[in-house]
C-alpha cells in the first residue's frame, strides 16, 4: 500500500502540490491525442413506470429525449461541475438509453471523444449521471422509488496511461 501522507508526496499524485494543496494538473507539455471514454449507468424502476415511459404516457413529456439531451449538455459542462477538471473541446458526445424489461428500467451509456492533452473519463461519467438524474426527475411523478445504480467507466482509450476496459458489473 502506498503512503499518501503529506510528508511522502509522489509524482503519482498530480493533483497535489508539494505542500499537499489541491492543484489543477499542468497538461501543457502533453501531446494532444485522440481520447475516448465510455461510461454506463442503470436506472431501475417498476414495470409500470417503464411501460408508461415507453408508451410516452408521462406527465412531464418525452422522458428519454430530455434525459439524452441533459447527458450531452452535462458532458460539456464537466469542468464547471468537477473541481480541477480541464475544460475540453469535445468532438463527440453520444448518450444511448436502452429499455430493459428484465431490470426493469433503462441502461444508459455515454461515449465521449476528444483530441486533447487529457482524457474524457469524467465527461462520460458526468453524462450518464446527469442523464440518469434527469430520467428520475422526469418520471418521479410516476414513481419516487426509482433507483440509479452502477455508474462506472467501462472503457477508455488514448493517453499516457494507455487503454482501459472493465468487465460489466
46 annotated as a binding-site residue? no
84 annotated as a binding-site residue? yes
Alpha-carbon span 85 to 158, nearest angstrom:
17
The catalytically annotated residue of 3, 26, 100, 137 is 137
Alpha-carbon span 25 to 131, nearest angstrom:
28
Each residue of 28-63: b (16+ CB within 10 Å) or e? eeeeeeebbbbbbbbbbbeeebbebbeeeebeeeeb
Does the annotation count 137 as an active-site position? yes
85 annotated as a binding-site residue? yes
Cell output for 113: 471523444
122 annotated as a binding-site residue? yes
Longest dimension (CA), the chain: 59
73 annotated as a binding-site residue? no
- The residues near 8 (Cβ < 8 Å, ≥ 6 apart) are none
Per the annotation, binding residues for substrate are 84-86, 122-123
Catalytic residues: 137
Question: Which residues line the annotated binding site?
Answer: 84-86, 122-123
Amino acid at each position: 500500500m502506498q503512503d499518501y501522507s503529506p510528508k511522502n508526496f509522489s509524482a503519482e499524485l498530480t493533483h497535489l502540490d508539494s505542500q499537499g494543496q489541491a492543484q489543477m494538473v499542468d497538461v501543457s507539455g502533453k501531446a494532444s491525442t485522440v481520447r475516448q471514454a465510455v461510461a454506463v449507468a442503470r436506472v431501475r424502476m417498476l414495470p409500470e413506470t417503464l411501460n408508461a415511459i415507453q408508451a410516452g404516457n408521462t406527465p412531464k413529456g418525452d422522458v428519454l429525449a430530455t434525459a439524452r439531451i441533459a447527458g450531452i449538455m452535462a458532458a460539456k459542462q464537466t469542468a464547471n461541475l468537477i473541481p480541477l477538471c480541464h475544460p475540453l473541446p469535445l468532438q463527440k458526445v453520444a448518450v444511448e438509453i436502452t429499455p430493459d424489461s428484465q431490470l426493469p428500467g433503462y441502461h444508459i451509456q455515454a461515449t465521449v471523444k476528444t483530441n486533447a492533452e487529457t482524457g474524457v473519463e469524467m465527461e462520460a461519467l458526468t453524462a450518464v449521471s446527469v442523464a440518469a438524474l434527469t430520467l428520475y426527475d422526469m418520471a418521479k411523478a410516476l414513481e419516487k422509488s426509482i433507483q440509479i445504480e452502477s455508474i462506472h467507466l467501462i472503457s477508455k482509450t488514448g493517453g499516457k496511461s494507455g487503454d482501459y476496459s472493465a468487465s460489466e458489473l
